[in-house]
Amino acid sequence: MRNSKFSRRALLKGSAALALGGFASPLKAAAPEASPVTPALIEAARQEGKVAWYTSVDLPVAEKIAKAFEAKYPDIATRVERSGAERIFQRIGQEQGSRIYAVDVVNSSDAAHFIAWKRDGWLAPYVPEDVARHYKPEHRDMDGMFATWRAWLSVIGYNTTLVKAEDAPKSFADLLDPKWNGKIVKGHPSYSGTILTATFQMSRDLGWSYFEKLAKQNVLQVQSSAEPPKKLALGERAVMADGNEYNLFLLKESGQPVEIVYATEGSPLIVGPNGIFANAPNPNAARLFQSWMFTVEAQQLMIEVGGLRSLHALAKEKPGRKPLKEIKLMKDDPVAVERGSEEIKAHYTQYFHV
């Protein structure tokens, strides 16, 4: 994939570090050494016998990943705690605040969360070997606190039995056409990190006036970014204004009547980092899980069964899916999302009422 797509992340990391200047001295400190998976780590992880993964990836995908890890390490029961990224963020904040240490590894579709967690000192540094070897610096935290486990897009989609290809919307602007009134489904930024990130990028590039107009289209307001694709497949709505590309891949490949549209304005790029919590109840199992998650094996599985995109240098895109480098993207900017998250949600509620 073209480097320029992600180079802004490096820039952001820099600005993030600057923004956090008062804490530690991340600019000078060298990144921690990569940690190999040793027999001692595996044994210690087996002793712990379990690991809790908080994630916002769609539940069936998350469970398949967890089952694959359990198949590789049968003695480690993997519990998936899935909810929307914004819910996960709230839940973890509440739990840590009440000294309930239940989360081992976390994966969020709102990369901004990792800025907040890192600032609060809640993350533990750990660099899996694959991350050190096969991930570009811009896809991993310079202090080794997290790395981008998955990437995907928030896209437009439509139901092919309800909408003919030539009538389908080509751009976000097309969705404002009165003919789509009452036919659109979309996710919610107070629940979904994908939608929050996408809402940020779209409001930045298209202006809030876009959402003001979209809100008048009588949209079906669901929560998760995984739900608009499901509502399309049910035939409940003809078009989705935002939501996961990966769910549409999976539905389409299983024969459901859905199609993806990459908007001419560009599709919001979403990255989902993975990190280990400092007070993880199962620290060794957490490390083993984190290491495994970034292996080419797990990354390829994520592509195959999850429809997601990998930033692992050796992972291969699945034939039949449009390669990332051919898609016009909107820029991601976790630092700005972190700063503006509350305002984005408030703005959104003002237009969409819930």
Partner 1 sequence: MNGSLERIRSRTAGIDLSWPVLLFVAAALCVLIVLPVSWLVYYSMTDRTGAFTADNFLRLATDPTFIDPFVTTVKIAVSVGAICCLVATPMGWLVARTDMPFKRTVRILVMACFVTPPFLGAIAWELLAAPNSGLLNQLYRSLTGVSPDVHLFDIYSLTGLIFVIACYTFPYVFVLVANALDRIPGDLEDASAILGGTAWITARRVTIPLALPALLAGALVAFLQAMTLFGSPAILAIPAGFHTMTTKIWSLFQYPPKPELAAAASLPLLVITVLLLRAEYMILGRRGYSVVGGRNSDPRLVRLGMLRWPALVLCFLLLLNPVFLPYGALLNAAFSRVPSQLLSLENVTLHNINFVLFDLSATKLALKNTFLLGALAATIGTVFALVIAYVTTRKAIAGYRALGFLATAPVAIPGIVLGVGLFLSYTRPPFVLYGTLWILLLAFITISLPSAYQQLQAALRGVHPELEDASRILGATRLQTLGRITAPLLRTGVIATWCFIFVGVIRELSAAIMLFTSETKVISVLIFDLNESGDLAAISVLGLMMLAITFVVVVAANQIPGFGGDVRLRNA
Which one, 220 or 336, has the nearer CB to partner 1?
220
| Contact flags string 195-234 toward partner 1, x per CB under 8 A | ------------------------xxxxxx-xx--xx-xx
72 near partner 1, judged by CB under 8 A: no
| Contact flags string 80-119 toward partner 1, x per CB under 8 A | xxxxx-xx-xxx-xxx-xxxx-xx----------------
Smallest distance, partner 1 to C-beta of residue 161, A = 9
Which one, 222 or 250, has the nearer CB to partner 1?
222
Contact 324, 317 (CB under 8 A): yes
235 near partner 1, judged by CB under 8 A: yes
Which one, 198 or 311, has the nearer CB to partner 1?
198
Binding footprint of partner 1, residue count (CB under 8 A): 56
Smallest distance, partner 1 to C-beta of residue 222, A = 6
Which residue in the block uniquely carries the two structure tokens 């750990």? 126
Interface with partner 1 (CB under 8 A): 52, 54, 58-60, 63-64, 66-67, 77-84, 86-87, 89-91, 93-95, 97-100, 102-103, 162, 190-191, 219-224, 226-227, 230-231, 233-238, 256, 342, 349, 352-354
